[in-house]
C-alpha cells in the first residue's frame, strides 16, 4: 500500500493498538518487505500542515476557498496586485494573444511566472518549493501553481511574436501611466552565460567574467531618469549586434511617435556607419565614446584650450573635470562630430566623448553619459535578485521570455518603491527585504480577500501608501476585492 512505518503506527494507534515505530520497522524487515525510499511531503500528497495538495493546477473561484484562513511566507506578493491592475495585465495578455487552456487560462500562467519572479525564485524548476502554498496559487488565480514540467512546456510554446507583443503592450501601458521620461535612453549588451555541453549558442564577450563564452547576447534599453528597463531582446547574433540600435529605435517609434530620445551607449555598442545612419536618416541624437588609440592619448598634451567645468551631480566624486572640445570627422561617418575629451574624472586615461548634438551644454552632455552606469547597475540587479544569469536552456525564445518577465518584475518593484516614503529610489533587493518578504494571514470572505501582515518595523510606511487610490483587486480572479491590513 506504500505506507511508511510512521503511517502504519498512526493507523494502529487509531485502532487502539499502541506500538512503536521501531517495532513496526522490525516486523516489516522480518517479513522481507524492503524499506521505502525517503519521500517528501509533496510526494506523499501532504503539506507541512497536513493539508491535501491538489493533484493538478486549475483556475479557481473564491467560492472554492470561502471562509478559509491561510498563512504563508509569500503573502508579500499581494502588494504588487494593485500595480498589476494599473498596468492592465489582462489587456496585455489579450494583446499578446498568449496561449492558454480551459484549465489554466493565459493570464493565470503569466501570473504564475511573475509570482515566482517577485519573490526572487532562482529557477522555475524550484516551483516545487511552493507547490503546497495555496497563497501563491491564489495570487495567480489558481488552486496551486502549475508543476515545473507544465511551466517549462508553456514557456517553450511561446514564439518570438508572443514575447514581442507582450513587451509592446506592456511598454505602451506603462507609458500611459507616465513611468518613462524618454528624453535619454541608455543602451547596453549583456551576455547570459550557458554552460550546457550541448549548447548551440554563440560565444560573446562577458564583461563580468572578462572573457568570451557561450551564452545568449541580450540587449537592454533603460530610461535614464526613471532607471526602468523599457526594451529587451535576446535573439541576437554577433553579426546582428551593430544593427540593434536601429532595431530599438524602430520599436520606440511605434510606442512614442514624434518623440526622439537621445541614445547613450559605449564605444563597442555599434559601428560608426550606424551612427551616421542615426544622424542622417533618422535625425536622432546620440552620445557615445570614441575608440581611442595610443597616438590619440600621446597627442593630448599638445592640445590647447582646456577648461574646467562643474557637473552639479550629487555625490559625484570628481565634479570639476578638465575638458577640451573640438569638431572632428571619422571614417565611415558622414559629416562632423563634436568631440569632448575629459580629464580629471577619476580615470587613469582620458575619456573621448563624441556626439552629433552641438547644442547641449558640456555639463549636461558629460553628466548624461556619466549616468550610463545606471543601465549596468540595472543589469547587475537583474542578475543578483531576478537571477537573470540562471539560464537553464539554450533556446533563445525561452531566454527572451524570462528577460521580458524580469523587465515586468523590475517595473513592479519600482512602482511599489515610488509609493514608499523614504524608499523611493531603493532597489528590488532592499524593497523585498524590508517590505515583501515575510509571513501574512489571508482570509477569504465571499469575494473579498483580506491580507493581514504582522507587526514589523516598516509597517507604518506601508500604511502611509494611498492604497484607496489604487485598484485593489486580484488580477487573476475576476470580481475580487482586495484588502491590505498592516499590524
Q: Could you tell me which residue, 92 or 18, shows the higher pLDDT?
A: 92
Helix (H) or strand (E) run with residue 445 in it: strand 440-445
Which DSSP category does 127 fall into?
G
| Domain co-membership, 30 together with 148 | no
pLDDT one-digit tens code per residue, 56-69: 788 888 887 888 89
Contact 312, 306 (CB under 8 A): no
Contact 442, 483 (CB under 8 A): no
pLDDT one-digit tens code per residue, 22-55: 787 888 788 777 776 655 544 554 444 455 556 6
66 belongs to a structural domain: yes
Strands 448-453 and 481-486: parallel
| Domain co-membership, 102 together with 130 | yes
How high is the mean pLDDT of the chain? 85
Q: Which residues neighbour 392 within 8 Å (Cβ) at sequence distance 6 or greater?
A: 123, 125
Q: Give the pLDDT of residue 68.
A: 87
Q: Give the pLDDT of residue 14.
A: 62
Q: Give the pLDDT of residue 312.
A: 78
pTM for the model stands at 0.82
Where does the pLDDT of residue 377 fall: very low under 50, low under 70, confident under 90, or very high at 90 and above? Answer: confident
Does residue 173 have a pLDDT over 90? yes
| Domain co-membership, 23 together with 132 | no
| Domain co-membership, 73 together with 187 | yes
Instruction: Please give the Cα distance from 145 to 371 (Å, whole number).
Output: 40
Instruction: Please give the Cα distance from 232 to 247 (Å, whole number).
Output: 11
| Domain co-membership, 66 together with 193 | yes
63 belongs to a structural domain: yes
| Domain co-membership, 120 together with 185 | yes
Q: Please report, rounded to a whole number, the percentage of residues in the chain having pLDDT higher than 90.
A: 44
Q: Give the pLDDT of residue 155.
A: 86
331 belongs to a structural domain: no
| Domain co-membership, 32 together with 67 | no
248 belongs to a structural domain: no
Stretch 344-365: mean pLDDT: 90
pLDDT one-digit tens code per residue, 218-262: 899 999 989 999 999 887 888 889 999 999 999 998 887 767 899
Does residue 359 have a pLDDT over 60? yes
| Domain co-membership, 84 together with 15 | no
| Domain co-membership, 26 together with 53 | no
Query: Kindly report the CA angle at 341 between 336 and 343, in degrees rounded to 5?
Result: 175
242 belongs to a structural domain: no
Q: Give the pLDDT of residue 337.
A: 95
CB contact burial 216-240 (16+ within 10 A = b; e otherwise): bbbbbbbbbebbbbbbbbbbbeeee
Q: Give the pLDDT of residue 122.
A: 64
Q: Give the pLDDT of residue 39.
A: 52
Stretch 72-85: mean pLDDT: 94
Does residue 1 have a pLDDT over 70? no
Instruction: Please give the Cα distance from 94 to 98 (Å, whole number).
Output: 7
Q: Give the pLDDT of residue 111.
A: 95
Structural domain count of the chain: 2
Where does the pLDDT of residue 358 fall: very low under 50, low under 70, confident under 90, or very high at 90 and above? Answer: very high
Q: Which domain holds residue 13?
A: 5-38
Residue 108 half-sphere exposure, CB side, CA atoms within 13 Å?
24
| Domain co-membership, 119 together with 180 | yes
Q: Give the pLDDT of residue 302.
A: 84
Among the listed ranges 123-137, 146-160, 319-333, 405-419, which one has the minimum average pLDDT value? 123-137
Q: Give the DSSP per-residue string, 388-429.
A: TT------HHHHHHHHHHHHHHHHHHHHHHTTSTT-TT--HH
267 belongs to a structural domain: no
| Domain co-membership, 61 together with 167 | yes
Does residue 187 have a pLDDT over 80? yes
161 belongs to a structural domain: yes
| Domain co-membership, 159 together with 53 | yes
Q: Could you tell me which residue, 445 or 191, shows the higher pLDDT?
A: 445
pLDDT one-digit tens code per residue, 415-449: 999 999 999 999 999 999 999 998 899 999 989 99
Which DSSP category does 458 fall into?
T
143 belongs to a structural domain: yes
Amino acid at each position: 500500500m506504500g505506507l511508511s512505518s510512521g503511517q502504519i503506527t498512526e493507523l494502529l494507534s487509531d485502532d487502539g493498538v499502541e506500538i512503536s515505530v521501531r517495532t513496526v520497522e522490525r516486523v516489516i524487515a522480518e517479513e522481507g518487505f524492503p524499506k521505502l525510499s525517503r519521500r517528501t511531503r509533496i510526494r506523499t500528497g501532504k503539506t507541512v500542515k497536513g493539508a491535501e495538495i491538489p493533484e493538478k493546477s486549475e483556475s479557481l473561484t473564491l467560492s472554492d476557498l470561502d471562509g478559509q484562513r491561510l498563512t504563508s511566507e509569500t503573502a508579500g506578493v499581494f502588494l504588487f496586485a494593485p500595480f498589476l491592475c494599473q498596468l492592465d495585465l489582462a489587456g496585455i495578455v489579450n494583446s499578446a494573444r498568449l496561449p492558454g487552456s480551459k484549465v489554466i487560462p493565459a493570464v493565470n500562467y503569466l501570473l504564475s511566472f511573475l509570482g515566482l519572479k517577485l519573490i526572487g525564485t532562482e529557477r522555475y524548476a524550484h516551483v516545487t518549493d511552493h507547490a503546497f502554498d495555496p497563497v501563491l496559487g491564489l495570487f495567480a488565480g489558481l488552486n496551486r501553481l502549475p508543476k515545473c514540467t507544465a511551466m517549462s512546456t508553456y514557456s517553450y510554446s511561446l514564439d518570438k511574436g508572443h514575447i514581442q507583443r507582450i513587451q509592446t503592450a506592456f511598454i505602451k501601458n506603462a507609458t500611459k501611466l507616465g513611468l518613462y521620461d524618454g528624453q535619454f535612453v541608455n543602451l547596453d549588451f549583456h551576455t547570459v552565460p550557458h554552460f550546457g555541453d550541448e549548447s548551440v549558442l554563440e560565444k560573446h564577450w562577458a564583461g563580468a567574467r572578462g572573457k568570451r563564452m557561450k551564452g545568449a547576447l541580450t540587449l537592454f534599453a533603460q530610461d535614464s531618469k526613471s532607471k526602468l528597463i523599457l526594451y529587451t531582446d535576446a535573439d541576437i547574433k554577433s553579426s546582428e549586434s551593430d544593427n540593434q540600435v536601429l532595431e530599438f529605435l524602430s520599436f520606440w517609434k511605434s510606442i512614442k511617435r514624434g518623440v526622439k530620445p537621445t541614445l547613450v551607449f559605449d564605444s563597442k555598442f555599434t559601428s560608426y556607419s550606424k551612427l551616421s545612419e542615426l544622424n542622417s536618416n533618422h535625425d536622432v541624437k546620440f552620445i557615445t565614446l570614441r575608440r581611442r588609440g595610443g597616438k590619440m592619448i600621446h597627442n593630448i598634451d599638445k592640445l590647447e584650450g582646456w577648461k574646467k567645468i562643474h557637473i552639479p551631480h550629487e555625490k559625484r566624486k570628481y565634479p570639476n573635470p578638465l575638458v577640451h572640445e573640438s569638431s572632428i570627422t571619422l571614417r565611415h561617418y558622414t559629416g562632423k562630430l563634436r568631440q569632448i575629451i575629459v580629464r580629471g574624472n577619476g580615470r587613469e586615461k582620458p575619456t573621448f566623448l563624441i556626439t552629433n548634438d552641438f547644442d547641449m551644454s558640456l555639463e549636461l552632455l558629460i553628466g548624461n553619459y556619466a549616468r550610463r552606469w545606471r543601465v549596468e547597475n540595472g543589469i547587475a540587479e537583474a542578475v543578483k535578485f531576478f537571477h537573470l544569469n540562471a539560464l537553464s536552456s539554450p533556446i533563445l525564445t525561452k531566454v527572451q521570455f524570462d528577460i521580458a518577465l524580469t523587465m515586468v518584475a523590475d517595473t513592479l518593484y519600482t512602482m511599489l518603491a515610488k509609493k514608499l516614503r523614504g524608499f523611493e529610489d531603493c532597489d528590488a533587493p532592499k524593497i523585498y527585504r524590508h517590505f515583501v518578504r515575510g509571513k501574512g494571514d489571508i482570509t477569504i470572505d465571499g469575494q473579498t480577500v483580506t491580507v493581514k501582515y504582522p507587526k514589523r518595523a516598516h509597517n507604518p510606511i506601508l500604511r502611509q501608501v494611498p492604497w484607496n487610490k489604487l485598484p485593489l483587486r486580484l488580477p487573476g480572479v475576476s470580481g475580487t476585492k482586495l484588502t491590505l491590513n498592516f499590524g
